[in-house]
Chains A and B, each alone.
Chain A
Amino acid sequence: MTEEILKVEHLNKFYDERQVLHNINFSLKKGEVLTLLGPSGSGKSTLLRTLNGLEDYKNGSIYFHEKKIDPSPKEWQILRQKIGMVFQSYDLFPNLTVIENVLLAPVKVQKRDENEVKEEAIKLLKQVGLEQYLNAYPRELSGGQKQRVAIVRALAMKPEIMLLDEITASLDPEMVRGIEEIVELLSKRDHMTMIIVTHQMNFASRIADEVLFLEDGHILEDTPGKEFFNHPQTQRAKDFLDSMDY
């Protein structure tokens, strides 16, 4: 039986009086790819950010390897080394070169040997075709290149889960494909456990093992990937897929 790596139970989140996540329940097995779909403002990114401790939650529980997370800053700081996150806007550090961006957390946070990490980082950067940009600054890179560095930066921490928040949303269409291929390779070759927020339905249909369809902070569907795209259970999900020209 595949090990359950993450479980969310009865999670509720509020912005002041407004509830933005309602009774969220799901679990994620090792190597599984969970895709969060739904219209803008449905709570997908908020849920993803909550799973990385960037948003707090009012009640409910998150379990990592069956251990309940104590939502304190200290605990989140440790957990974030296991739960990597990549953002829509890349957010590379502009004051650091590509290689410095990648080395910062493994060396300073995980206290790993710099030479060993550098060797691994160069290998990862080679895999995404950026070995010639080690000493370039983020401002010298295209959007697609920045996003590839951001993915490598998160992978350099050797996370157990990767959270990808609309990572192709800021890219030119021709760059989108390259990033999607990297993510698909991570899933198929490395069996990386991932939670992905995306508006790219074709990509989602190829990669998703499971789909959570959200609206107004509620999970309307929790369906295996293929089934969601071929036979959505709710009319709302059908309408959503139609509106996305899928």
Chain B
Amino acid sequence: MVHSGINVLFEGSNFARLMAGLWTSIWIAAISLIIGLAIGIIFGILRTLSNKFIRFILRVYLEFFRIVPTIVLLYLVYYILPRTFHVNWPATWMAVLAFSLWVAAEFSDIVRGAIESVPKSQRESGLALGLSKIQLFRYVLLPQVIKLELPATINLATRVIKTTSLLLVISIMEVINVAQQIIEANNQQYPTGVFWVYGLIFILYFVLDYPLSAWAKKLTNERK
């Protein structure tokens, strides 16, 4: 009997497993973004201070996470961290840790850039009105910084979502890992199944990332 490849998606609980894998990718990305953005905003502000030591340390931190490939980072937190520091967290939380540190590094640079892009005269104008430094940040700089950084932050979010596809290397049952298992299990019955499974994954990632990407593009165009 000839089987249509598309049926592989609906064999047993395959579709539900793929959706569960996608949900794992989404929540790891979401929690990593929440933690990473919170740390990143603090690091970004610290990087605009005049203290050279703090700026140097945070610059080294940023460069480390920029230079080291994400896959190496995942190996580091999954294999080396537990052995060295006797940390026994589940793989998903190790992934959240790695991604949060990476997001914090990238976002700190976005925040620093946005703060530095607000014209100096805006600061002076606020100070000349008697605003304290906290009021100046809260009412003048922060709203402008958010507007300036939003497109880059959305782009960072799309990168994080896409990069969750690497989580299979530390055995997390995210959507790619589930897909591999389905393909291997059904390879003989559905020789063209790989096309349909990865086709569905393409659509799922597209549905997740394209609206974000389009939003970032719209914001960027509005700023021009």
A residues engaging B (CB < 8 A)?
49, 52-54, 73, 77-78, 80-81, 84-85, 87, 89, 91-96, 104-105, 108-110, 153-154, 157
Contacts and interface: CB of A to CB of B under 8 A. Distances in A.
Given A108-B139, A109-B135, A87 B125 contact: yes
B130 A91 contact: no
Contacts of A87: 121, 124-125, 128
Contacts of B125: 87, 91-93
A109 B130 contact: yes
B126 A54 contact: no
Contacts of A93: 122, 125-126, 139-140, 144
Contact of A104 (B124, B133, B139): B139
B200 interface: no
Given A87-B121, A89-B121, A93-B122, A78 B130 contact: yes
Q: Which 8 residue pairs spanning A and B have beta carbons closest together? A: A91-B125, A105-B129, A95-B143, A80-B130, A85-B128, A81-B130, A109-B130, A91-B121
B128 A54 contact: yes
Contacts of A84: 128-129
Contact of B129 (A53, A80, A89, A94): A80
Interface of B: 119, 121-122, 124-133, 135, 139-140, 143-144, 147
B124 A91 contact: yes
A53 B140 CA distance: 19
11 contacts: A53-B127, A77-B130, A80-B130, A91-B119, A91-B122, A91-B125, A104-B139, A108-B131, A109-B130, A154-B129, A157-B129
